[in-house]
Amino acid sequence: NAGVTQTPKFRVLKTGQSMTLLCAQDMNHEYMYWYRQDPGMGLRLIHYSVGEGTTAKGEVPDGYNVSRLKKQNFLLGLESAAPSQTSVYFCASSYMTGQSEAFFGQGTRLTVV
Nearest distance from C-beta of residue 16 to another protein, angstroms: 28
46 in Cβ contact with 108 (< 8 Å): no
Query: Considering only CA atoms, which of 48, 17, 24 is closest in space to residue 35?
Result: 48
CA dihedral of residues 20, 21, 22, 25 (deg, nearest 10): -150
With CB under 8 A as the contact rule, the residue among 61, 63, 77, 107 that binds another protein is 107
89 touches another protein by CB under 8 A: no
69 touches another protein by CB under 8 A: no
Instruction: Show the site string, 11-50: x = touches another protein by CB under 8 A, - = not.
Output: --------------------x-x-x----xxxxxx--x-x
16 in Cβ contact with 32 (< 8 Å): no
Q: How far is it, in rounded angstroms, from Cα 89 to Cα 107?
A: 5
Choices 15-23, 60-68, 73-81, 104-112; region in contact with another protein by CB under 8 A: 104-112
1 touches another protein by CB under 8 A: no
CA 20 to chain centre: 10
> What does the binding site for another protein look like in residue numbers (CB under 8 A)?
31, 33, 35, 40-45, 48, 50, 58, 88, 90, 92, 94, 96-104, 106-107
